[in-house]
Structure 1
Amino acid sequence: MKGPLFYAKILLFGEYGIIKDSKGLAIPYNSYQGALKSSEELSEKALESNKNLLKFHSYLSNLDSELVQFRLDEFKSDVDAGMYFDSSIPQGYGVGSSGALVAAIYDKYVDDKITVLESLTREKLLKLKSIFSLMESFFHGKSSGLDPLNSYLSLPILINSKDNLEATGIPSQKEGKGAVFLLDSEMIGETAPMINIFMNKMKNEGFRKMINEDFANYTDACIEDFLHGNVKSLFGNVKQLSKVVLSNFKPMIPKAFHSLWQQGIDTNAYFLKLCGSGGGGYILGFTEDYVHAKELLKKYKLELVYRF
């Protein structure tokens, strides 16, 4: 048995903002993927995944929802026969490792599933997102359902608000000097503690005002610029967003990267932002000159995501 591939995702814009109903833009990232496989002889990593699937099965068995029905007996017998999720997606890195697994389970064990071949109305997207939110809560305690949605559909998703999603197109890549890249912090980030920090900060009126005004405005402007290919304007807005994040989200940025973050803003050579919830994992970078940025960041592992 070998299931279809499900890809990683990158939330280009909107981390934390989407929890509070502002815009977001997520794109599939095909450099990493996962698939359900089965084997009688399991490696240590596969065995760990197999045990995790058993826990996930138990969680789904207790889900009280009219939204979705799983073929749980089949799922259980596949797990007993050595099924595991074979994935190259790094865990705790903000690129949707649990999302790809959720997408694979939904794809394999739901009868009346919504498929990418249908016309994806807003209602269907919202239903899928709700189902995925329920499923992925097993991993994070609270999930928007966006990561699995992106992985399942393998399409860029524009989040206008909680109840308004659309599959969208992004401008095709160019062979220019500019780039979006990932910077590896070489630390694992955990989503739940970061979201707790954010929720506590949201009790502060000044922080709420910053999220609703500066953070939301720059995020929305970045999305608009990116989708319409306004590269010059995009970098101006990403710089402002990078400043806002450095000032207000310090606990989510590993300490070792605070000065590197500031260096980008001071030199205009690159601008950094959170990739997912932060606390480790990948940091997302934007630059108008990837060669120059690579030189300045040569101590770090970078991965190219998109070219301007």
Structure 2
Amino acid sequence: MTNPLFYAKILLFGEYGIIEDSQGLTLPYSFYKGTLKFSNLENDFEKKSNSSLQKYADYLKNLPVSEKFQLDISTFQKDIEKGLFFDSNIPQGYGVGSSGALVAAIFEKYSVNKLQPETISKDELKDLKKVFGEMESFFHGKSSGIDPLICYMNLPILIENKENVDKVSIPQSAEGKGAIFLIDSGMTGETGPMVQIFFEKMKTEGFRKTLKEEFIRYNNACIDAFLKKEMNPLFRNLKNLSIWAYEHFKPMIPESINNIWKKGLDTNAYYLKLCGSGGGGYILGFTKDYQKAEKMLEGFNKEVIYRF
């Protein structure tokens, strides 16, 4: 049996807001994927991956995990000695869940009680998210567990609040003029420092107030409109969200993107938002007319992820 593939993820809505209990909406993204494999560790990529897995196994060994979600660490360690590595084309530091896919792959292969993602209940999702959060904290210092959960489930997930998540069906992608797309900022971003900036900002009352009263309101309204396929309210709230981020998330917007972010707001041809924690990696774009937006964004690498 070949090892299953674990796809990247895209957080469409909810970056930073989910830390403060906003809703989030996230989708698997099959363009990037990873899987556990064995090899003779002849090249640097495989060697590096194998030695990271060794460190990770030591970390997992000391994690208190409930009986239901136990991992067979000794088999994992034996496999690492046999040349196990994570073969992945998911770019790191791009906000598309490289560590999430790795955590999901390890959980799938080494969990003692095998789960069927299709039959997992809402309560089990909640417990699993906690376990994944502890497992992924090795990579980010603190993790909500959302990324590995999406990679593991391979389904769109609605984050209702800090505690609860649920499986959700999103409108089928159609071949319309509109699109949601990714723009490559040309640089990697590190989650840790960006999250640190966010927490610094949260110390000021004015920022906390505008986050709760404006950002979270626009964010949740976008999710609601997107799931209902109501494009006018979606774009109205997207513009507000994009303006808000341009004003309050300046440090998270890569310099290469600054001008085109503003250009989108000035022309209403497209709106940009962060994809993940920002600082680099991908930026998300939304437009009602992709052809027009594409011309305006010439020179940037773009990938369409959803049509409408």
For residue 230 of structure 1, what is the amino acid of its counterpart? E
Match of 1:189 in 2: 189
Q: How does 1:185-264 map to 2 (within 5 A)?
A: 185-264=185-264
Match of 1:7 in 2: 7
- Output one character per residue of 1:55-100: Cα deviation in whole Å (capped at 9) or x when no partner: 1101101112336321111000101111100011111000000000
- Identify unmatched segments of 5+ residues in structure 2: none
Aligned partners of 1:117, 1:181: CA distance in 2, in Å? 28
Matched, 1:100 2:101: yes
Aligned partners of 1:128, 1:41: CA distance in 2, in Å? 32
- Identify unmatched segments of 5+ residues in structure 1: none
My pick for the range that moved more, 276-285 or 32-41, is: 32-41
Match of 1:79 in 2: 80
The alpha-carbon deviation at position 114 of structure 1 amounts to 3.1
Aligned partners of 1:281, 1:117: CA distance in 2, in Å? 31
Match of 2:92 in 1: 91
Q: Given the two structures, how large is their TM-score scaled by the length of structure 2?
A: 0.97
Match of 2:275 in 1: 275
The alpha-carbon deviation at position 22 of structure 1 amounts to 0.8
The alpha-carbon deviation at position 47 of structure 1 amounts to 1.0
Q: Given the two structures, how large is their TM-score scaled by the length of structure 1?
A: 0.97
Matched, 1:54 2:60: no
Identity level (%): 54
For residue 62 of structure 1, what is the amino acid of its counterpart? N
Q: Please give the secondary structure, in 2, of the residue aligned with 1:91.
A: coil
Q: How many residues align?
A: 307
Contact kept, 8 Å, 1:114 with 1:124, in 2: the verdict is: no
Match of 1:34 in 2: 34
RMSD: 1.1
Aligned partners of 2:115, 2:274: CA distance in 1, in Å? 31
Aligned partners of 2:143, 2:200: CA distance in 1, in Å? 17
Aligned partners of 2:187, 2:122: CA distance in 1, in Å? 37
Q: Please give the secondary structure, in 2, of the residue aligned with 1:194.
A: helix
Match of 1:148 in 2: 148
Aligned partners of 2:97, 2:17: CA distance in 1, in Å? 17
Q: Please give the secondary structure, in 1, of the residue aligned with 2:31.
A: strand
Q: Please give the secondary structure, in 2, of the residue aligned with 1:175.
A: coil
The alpha-carbon deviation at position 2 of structure 1 amounts to 4.3
Matched, 1:293 2:254: no
